[in-house]
Amino acid sequence: TPNGVLSVAAGKSVYFFDGGRPGQLIKSVKTQHDVASVAFNGDVGSGGRYVTGGSGDTWVRVWDYEMEQELETGKGHHGPVWTVSFSPDGKLYATGSEDGTIKLWKFTAGPYGLWR
């Protein structure tokens, strides 16, 4: 949608709302993990990925939007991950943890920034 997608973490579920039509639920996904934060990258019509941070563990999970499956797990924080956000170009995401750190994660194939 032109106005984007609002992603919301609640309990063990992630909700995706139409940014152009407040209150219009596009999709909800139940997980086996407590979800404290979520960020969506893509288009609901042609797929995409989203990233979640947990309150019950210290991991960051990357999910396939269409298949609703976990694709990879990022480990590195030492506390719950309370915030997740994509860069404007979608090739990087940042996570913030209760451990006082912010981590940057590459989200594209090939070299990007300092990653070679």
Of all residues in the chain, the percent with pLDDT exceeding 90 is 76
- pLDDT of 24 reads 95
Answer yes or no: is pLDDT of 105 > 90. yes
- pLDDT of 87 reads 93
β-strand 13-18 against 102-106: which pairing, if any? Answer: unpaired
Distance, in Å, from the CA atom of 10 to the CA atom of 101, rounded to the nearest integer, reads 23
Q: Under a CB-based contact definition with an 8 Å cutoff, are residues 78 and 69 in contact?
A: no
Band (1; pLDDT cuts 50, 70, 90) = very low
Kind and range of the H or E element at 105? strand 102-106
Answer yes or no: is pLDDT of 50 > 50. yes
pTM of the model: 0.89
Per-residue pLDDT reduced to its tens digit, 5-18? 999 999 999 999 99
Distance, in Å, from the CA atom of 91 to the CA atom of 12, rounded to the nearest integer, reads 26
- pLDDT of 115 reads 78
